[in-house]
Amino acid sequence: MAALAAILILLQTGCWNMREVEHMFYAHGTGVEFKDGKYTVYVQILDFTTLGKQEGGASSGLSQGGSWVGNGTGNSIQAAIHDLYATAQRRIFWGHLNAIVIGESLLQQDLREFIDIVTRYHEFRYTMWIFGTRQSVKDVMLASPILEASPLYSQFGDPQDVFNQSSFIPPMRFYRFIRDLQEPGRTALLPMLALNKGHWADLKTEFPVVEIEGAASLKDWELKGFFSRDRLVGMRWLYPNATRIPLEIRSGDKTLANLVFGAPKHRIIPEVKNGRAKFRIQLTMGGTIAHMDKTITVDEIKDRAQQVIIDEIRLTYFYGLEKKVDILNLTDALYRKHVREWRKMQEEGKFPLDKNSLESIEVEVVLTDGGRAMAPPD
């Protein structure tokens, strides 16, 4: 009986090819650049000892920022990845990859090869954050967040946290980026990262931190242009997942009120008149008054807020027209409601929008909290 048991034990399969957790490198972020006809692939490896927040910080000898950034270069993205593997000291596991950043030089190329490689490899997931940058990909990936020892808590690693507190340009998941690139009527707006060096410091040093500085527009797999934050000011009112949108009501140099809005709901109503596309935007949202001056009434605040929102949306629309970009994704509504007319316009090969295409913007603001008066009582 003992001999039989010994034979059965020997026949049992085991995890002979499994690797210990500490024997692999875990990629947290990756980036790709294209320069002088060659691709450079970067990988960010986290120092997990910094996540424990033990007194004295990391003790593993890794970089002070809590991560290492490696790179490889080649004539193709695959060749660059294998050049990276050649200098890696351990196996790199991509299953926990959290973010991708694409350099400006690669955005100007056809992204199909890049998307094809990422979607083919079984360890990559579709839920990663994706960004672009006009600065050095390496510098962006090496930037450390304030106070925290790990890049896991930066806007590169956790952008949703900042957007939930102040909603301006939403971060984008990889699957949404692919969807927007492939949808015939949509324009993809890729968030662009940059290093900001003027806002955070300790007693000795000013620290560069990562921020979303704007967005790149892509249509039919081609880069159409870049838009800074001030030119995207109207887009924030069209994001249904925006939870805190600040708005300042001013009269000259004087601030009359500060408002905070959330969860805007909008409809884009397309029509075709005399062979031209026309659009109406209907927008409703609720908000609160963070503070207000005594010289203005709540009804006046509401009216002024509605007009400011209309002006911001129309301003962003006209910035898009300058680069022939459907920045508000109006033609997506046309494609879904009037596909025959949309196809006819596509066959003509002309940009379907002009200064008269956006006929009207209707905004309804509901103020749920009257706030508190900031002026002293009489």
Q: Of all helices (H) and strands (E), which one includes residue 205?
A: none
Distance CA 195, CA 109 (A): 23
Residues 6 or more apart whose CB falls under 8 angstroms from that of 21 comprise none
For residue 218, the tally of other CB atoms under 10 A from its CB is 22
Domains of the chain, first to last: 24-232 (no CATH), 233-378 (3.30.300.210)
Rounded Cα distance, 188 and 113, in Å: 18
39: number of Cβ within 10 Å? 25
CA distance linking residue 90 with residue 27, whole number of Å: 12
Nearest CA among 37, 194, 232 for reference residue 101: 194
As a whole number of angstroms, the distance between CA 179 and CA 43 comes to 25
Nearest CA-CA partner of 237 in 265, 211, 257, 213: 265
Buried b (16+ CB within 10 A) or exposed e, 271-294: ebeeeebbbbbebebebebbebee
User: β-strand 24-35 against 99-103: which pairing, if any?
Assistant: parallel
Judge contact between 142 and 67, C-beta under 8 A. Answer: yes
Q: Where are the alpha helices (DSSP H) in the chain?
A: 2-11, 77-87, 104-107, 112-120, 137-142, 159-165, 174-182, 298-322, 330-337, 339-348
User: Which pTM does this prediction carry?
Assistant: 0.86
Phi, psi for 119 (deg, rounded to 5): -80, -20
pLDDT tens for the chain, residues 1 to 378: 666 555 555 555 555 555 555 668 889 999 999 998 999 999 998 776 655 554 444 444 444 556 789 999 999 999 999 999 999 988 999 988 999 999 999 999 989 888 988 888 888 889 999 999 999 999 998 887 776 656 667 778 889 988 999 999 999 999 999 999 999 999 999 999 999 887 888 777 788 888 999 999 999 899 999 999 999 999 999 999 999 999 999 988 899 999 999 999 999 999 999 889 999 999 999 999 998 887 888 899 999 999 999 999 999 999 999 999 999 999 999 999 999 999 998 888 889 999 999 999 999 999 987 655 555 544
- CA gap 189, 323 in Å, rounded: 14
- C-alpha to C-alpha distance for 140 and 29, rounded to whole angstroms: 11
User: Which tokens go with 62?
Assistant: 């890794």
